[in-house]
Amino acid sequence: MIATPSILTAFEKMKAPERIQWLNQEYGSRLVLSSSFGIQAAVMLDLVSKHAPEIPIVWIDTGYLFPETYQYVEELKQTLHLNLKEYQPLITAARQEAVHGKLWEQGEEGNAQYGLINKVEPMNRALNELNSDVWLSGLRRSQSSTRIQRPYLEQQKKTLKAYPILDWTHAQIQQYFRDNNLPKHPLESKGYQTMGDWHSTNPIAEGESAEDSRHGGNKYECGLHLKSEATDFQI
């Protein structure tokens, strides 16, 4: 499965609901949506629930999420009637820390290993178990400098990744929340503009960008959306 130039051009001209509907018509049961249930995640969840409700939604519970994120998951599950598939790392947070220590405090190598154990491996397992090779994500170009050049469709080894709201601005996201009466993540009102694990995410300080609030400003991507990321990692 390859995103040809003609397919990419057609996809770019569509609106977000049309992109989701087209992907569903073309690929059907091969589709999954991943969601972090972060600050703006409700937009993609709502779009899918309205335009392709049968698509499985993969949520990776790292074991290190904020309590408010777990509460938000439960709220959106009830509000949007999601076809949610929950995945966890193969080893618990307690065991990880006992064996490896706090990987997020161990520099680039430790953070890379953390991402593989807690995010990449569970997502790969989800794709395999759900027999899915087309992966939808709510990633947007305006979220960070690492995403500005992203295409709407890109190949990641055997998986085709699709970003239906890639071109949406922050203002469009906020308008969608208002128009569709979507609940907000509880931590948005406390200064968080992006959301990840509790040890790597901070509220925005004066003069900071969203990128500065993740991993001490050293990186923004968690590992799932790095183009070079391995897709067959084993613990």
Q: Strand, helix or coil at 199? A: coil
Q: Compute the distance between CA of residue 170 and CA of residue 176 in angstroms, rounded to an integer.
A: 10
Place of tokens 């953070």: 111
Question: Would you call 22 helix, strand, or coil by DSSP?
Answer: helix
Closest CA to 67 of 186, 183, 216, 184: 186
Phi, psi of 79 (to 5 degrees): -70, -40
Task: Classify burial at 62, counting beta carbons within 10 Å of its beta carbon; exposed 0-12, middle 13-18, buried 19 or more.
Answer: buried
Nearest by Cα to 223 from 47, 16, 31, 62: 62
At 73, the amino acid letter reads: V
Q: Is 92 a catalytic residue?
A: no
Which of 222, 223, 224, 229 is an active site residue? Answer: 222
Q: Which residues are catalytic?
A: 222
